[in-house]
């Protein structure tokens, strides 16, 4: 074995060890060891805030997946890491959280509003809203297999709902300004790669009235990116109207499994001039 080969081997070995150390420093679960919402403190608070800063500014630190890896993971049923990403799991998901969200936004969002879900998968969230009386529904979904499943699992929803099939990066810029009254996401923005941060300004452009985020904000690993969404959207001119942290603020026992998820409701810039 030549000296060059040994040097290359040692360099690769050191890079792998450094990456493991960085992952240990910056990866965070949504919950702590006791099953409560993770609240960073001390050195962990510093590293968590630094990580959020990098992600929100659009940097791609070494401990996260690449943009291409993230797209491949969500656009196919099973990804290259052999982790299941099956639309069937989403089509049969519990409805408690989306029902809670509908109560959360009730003072502001009316059933006649046009509602767009980003990352709607097989449509379980949208179908719940349909059953709650929302009839002007739309979605964007990157996985064509999920949309295909929607046509069989939620046929009424599929027939009466416009679903844009493709990535948020490709589809959001094609939507007209102020074309949806409300845009919401549920555990989707946490998967938006830092290089795709323009998605947030596109959301503000497309939303006529409100943006609602239902996301963890400290969880961080591989394809989950930690952000403070109040900071993200306020930097784009939005105003946070209300928020609730599940498992910390008063919430229903039925959604106890979602400890650490933060719901935020924002009005978009100049929305007050449009509302009566």
* Residues 22-48, mean pLDDT to the nearest whole number: 79
For residue 77, the model assigns a pLDDT of: 52
Give the range among 93-97, 131-135, 203-207 with minimum mean pLDDT. 93-97
Show the 3-state SS of 49-78.
HHHHHHHHCCCCCCCECCHHHHHHHHHCCE
pLDDT score of 169 more than 70: yes
pLDDT of residue 242 exceeding 80: yes
What is the predicted pLDDT for the residue at 91? 80
pLDDT above 90 as % of the chain: 60
**What integer is the mean pLDDT of 113-128?**
97
The chain-wide mean pLDDT, for the chain, equals 87
Does residue 78 surpass a pLDDT of 70?
A: no
pLDDT at 121: 94
Tokens of 252: 């229903």
Among 197, 141, 139, which residue's Cα sits nearest to residue 167?
Answer: 141
Dist CA 165 CA 89 (whole Å): 19
Highest-confidence segment of 30-39, 76-85, 238-247, 266-275: 238-247
How much of the chain, in percent, has pLDDT values that exceed 70? Answer: 91
pLDDT tens figures, 143-166:
999 999 999 999 999 999 999 999
97: tokens are 């959280």
Confidence category of residue 79, pLDDT binned at 50, 70, 90: very low
Strand order, beta sheet including 261-267: 162-165, 137-141, 115-118, 180-186, 207-216, 261-267, 239-245
Could you list the beta-strand ranges (E) of 142-199: 162-165, 180-186
Give the residue-averaged pLDDT of 184-198: 95
Could you tell me the residue ranges of all domains in the chain? Answer: 1-276
Q: Which stretches does DSSP call E strand in 24-148?
A: 115-118, 137-141
Does residue 256 carry a pLDDT above 80? no
pLDDT at 82 over 60: no
Average pLDDT over residues 267-273: 78
pLDDT at 139 exceeding the cut of 60: yes
Query: What integer pLDDT is reported at residue 263 of this predicted model?
Result: 96
* Cβ atoms within 10 Å, residue 246: 22
Q: Which of 18 and 79 is assigned the larger pLDDT?
A: 18
Name the band, by pLDDT with cuts 50, 70 and 90, for residue 53: very high
pLDDT band at 76 (very low <50, low <70, confident <90, very high): low
CATH topology of domain 1-276: Rossmann fold (3.40.50)
């Amino acid at each position: 074995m030549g000296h060059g080969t040994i040097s290359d081997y040692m360099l690769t070995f050191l890079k792998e060890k450094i990456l493991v150390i960085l992952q240990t420093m910056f990866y965070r679960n949504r919950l702590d060891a006791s099953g409560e919402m993770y609240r960073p403190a001390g050195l962990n608070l510093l590293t968590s805030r630094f990580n959020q800063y990098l992600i929100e500014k659009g940097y791609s630190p070494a401990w996260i997946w690449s943009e291409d890896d993230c797209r491949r993971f969500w656009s196919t049923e099973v990804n290259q890491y052999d982790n299941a990403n099956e639309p069937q799991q989403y089509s049969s998901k519990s409805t408690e959280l989306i029902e809670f969200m509908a109560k959360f936004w009730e003072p502001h969002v009316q059933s006649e509003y046009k509602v767009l879900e980003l990352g709607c998968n097989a449509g379980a969230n949208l179908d719940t809203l349909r059953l709650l009386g929302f009839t002007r529904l739309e979605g964007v979904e990157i996985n064509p297999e999920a949309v295909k499943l929607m046509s069989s699992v939620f046929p009424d929803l599929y027939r009466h709902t416009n679903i844009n099939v493709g990535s948020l990066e490709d589809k959001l810029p094609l939507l007209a300004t102020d074309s949806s009254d409300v845009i919401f996401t549920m555990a989707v923005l946490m998967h938006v790669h830092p290089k795709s941060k323009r998605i947030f300004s596109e959301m503000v452009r497309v939303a006529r009235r409100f943006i609602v985020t239902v996301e963890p904000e400290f969880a961080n690993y591989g394809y989950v990116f930690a952000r403070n969404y109040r900071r993200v959207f306020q930097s784009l001119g939005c105003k946070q109207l209300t928020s609730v942290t599940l498992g910390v603020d008063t919430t229903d026992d039925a959604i106890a499994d979602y400890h650490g998820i933060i719901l935020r409701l924002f009005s978009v810039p100049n929305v007050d001039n449009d509302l009566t």
